[in-house]
Structures are given as structure tokens and as C-alpha cells.
Amino acid sequence: MLHPCYHKQKPRGETYLVYSSPDLIKLIHETHALSIWNRKKGPVFWYIAGVPGPFYVNTEFVIGAETAKDLLKQIDKVLGSLADPGVRSEALGKIILDATTTNSVYQQVIKTMAAKARENYPVGSYNFISGGERRDWLFSVPLADELNIKHAYLFKNQTAYCPQGLIPHEKALHIADLINNAASYFDLWFPTLEKAKLDYAGTLCFNSRGNGVQKLHARGTKVVALNSIDLGFFEQSRAEKLIDEETLAEIALYFKSPQEWGRQYLPYDVALFEVMGMDNKSFERMRSFFSLDPWSMRQTHEVLFTQVKAAIADRLKHQAA
């Protein structure tokens, strides 16, 4: 059970119930916003870079996995059925804000983000909150409501819409669920804001991992994260008895050398890959890995590569049938 701690936030002078750093770590584990693979049962996780890893981050699950999944389904329905930006944004806002009213954890996550925003971005340093399609909106929309500031929806087609309107050179505080390699910032959100002649105060995310923060810093972008999925996170998780020593040792090796982790921990039993049952996205990533061999494992894991390639061929044959 989580026990958020009270902090007095200024300049408003109101008392906010926000999560401490240890509470956030517990919340991430308890909601399965971070999943760690079972090396005895599988399956391994497959990342967008086409390589495997021992853990996977679904930040949106911190508000409750079912709540997040349901909201994303409703958002998809709105995006697929409503073309008018005003009608669309009104529907999106209602769906998301309604979800916060009956979910106390969701409320506390947003209050925690609001406290972090007030602490790191003074009043007047930004003019509006922005969030990118789609997961960002689960955090950006209620945060804008909590901070009583206008919200701009950024879409993947590089358009932006704010019901209250946007003035050239107004500054955005961009909200994200997760900063990983920051590709969406450089490919979508920066160009969208620049296209609309808008400026950028910085970004606030719930989780960070990977090298995205460093890339943003190199661009001169201020980055604030509530939590970082790094070795320190897992060491703290161990200290709180949320993971065991064996798991910590494995993940420490992964952070030191993903290739060495792969050579030591990737299963030799092809059944643990669940080739027939995995989703299409993971399947294509796995297929790419065993085809390109980016970690040069084929020579030392020849039997595994042969078995997995045979399993891949069986799945492709089954799909074509």
C-alpha cells in the first residue's frame, strides 16, 4: 500500500498530496508500469531498436493498466471518427478528465507532476502545456487542468490545436509519459511547434530511460523527469525488496553490456521465445535480430539461431496459410 507524503507547494499556498521518490518506485512495480522478464519461463522483451532486453516500460500503467488501455481505445475511436479539431479536442479532454475523477491514484500522479512542474518551471516561464499523440495526453491534459493553463494537442501529422488559441512565440512546457531515445521529439514535436511558430520552455516526463535525455540536453532543452529507469532505480527496488538479488545482478549486467547480457541470459530453449504467440511488432523485432545478428552471437549460439529461425519460418508459413 502506498503512502504519499504531504508537501507544501508555493506560491499558491495549497497543500498537495504527492508521491515521494520511493513511493513512485513502488507504484511503478505495483502497477506493472515496468515488467521484468522471467528467465525461467520467458518470454524476453523486444525493443524498438530490434534487440532484446530483460525489462519493458509501460509508463501509462501507473494510472492503472485497465484505465490506461481503456483510455487509449477511446482516444483511438475519437481520432478515427472526429475530424474537426475543436470537436475532437473537446471529446478527448472529456474522456481523459472524466477518468481522473474516480481514480485517486491517477489524481495523485497528476498532483505529483504538478508539484514537479512548479518546482522546476516558475510561473511565467511557459504559456501552455503541450502533449503528443497519444500517450502523452493521459498526463498532459489533466496536468494542464491541474495547473489551470491552456493545453495544446500535438498530432502525428505535425499539426497543433489549442481550444483557447496559440500566439506566435508562446512557450510550451511539453509533457511526456516516457523519454527513451527522444525520437518523437526530434521527428514530431519540435517540428510541430516550430511550424506553428511556437517556442519551447522545456519538457517534463514521468519516466526517462535510454539516451534521450542526453540528446535533448545536447539540443539545449531543459528536461525534468519524475523517475529514471536506470541502475539506481533497480538498486533502490532491491533495497525496498521489490526485486531479488539475482534479478538485480542480471539487470546490472544488462546496463553494463547488453551484448554480454544476451550471451549469458538469452534462453537456449526456443519455446521460451513464444514465437507463435508473440504480437506482430515483437515478432518483427525478433526476426530482425536473428537475421542481422547485431550482437555477433550466431557463432556461439548456433543451435539457438537455427532453432529460432526454424520457428520463425513455421510462423510465416502458418500466417500465409
Length, in residues, of the chain: 321
C-alpha cell of residue 56: 519493458
Residue 216 CA to residue 227 CA, distance in Å, equals 16
With a CB cutoff of 8 Å and minimum separation 6, the contacts of 181 are: 48, 49, 210, 211, 212, 215
| Strand ordering across the sheet containing 171-179 | 160-161, 151-154, 128-132, 171-179, 199-208, 223-228
pLDDT tens-digit profile of 185-204?
Answer: 999 999 999 999 999 999 99
pLDDT digits (tens, 9 = 90+) for 120-139: 999 999 999 999 999 999 99
Q: Which of 230, 206, 227, 47 is nearest to 136 (CA)?
A: 206
Which pLDDT tens digit goes with each residue over 49-71? 999 999 999 999 999 999 999 99
Beta strands in 75-184 (DSSP E): 128-132, 151-154, 160-161, 171-179
Sorted by sequence, the CB contacts under 8 Å of residue 235 that are 6+ apart come out as 248
pLDDT band at 13 (very low <50, low <70, confident <90, very high): very low
pLDDT exceeds 80 at position 257: yes
Domains and CATH numbers, the chain: 5-30+64-229 (3.40.50.2020)
* Closest alpha carbon to 142 in 170, 175, 190: 175
Establish whether the linkage from the previous residue to 263 is cis, with ω within 30° of 0: no
Which pTM value belongs to this model? Answer: 0.91
Report whether 7 contacts 18 (CB < 8 A).
yes
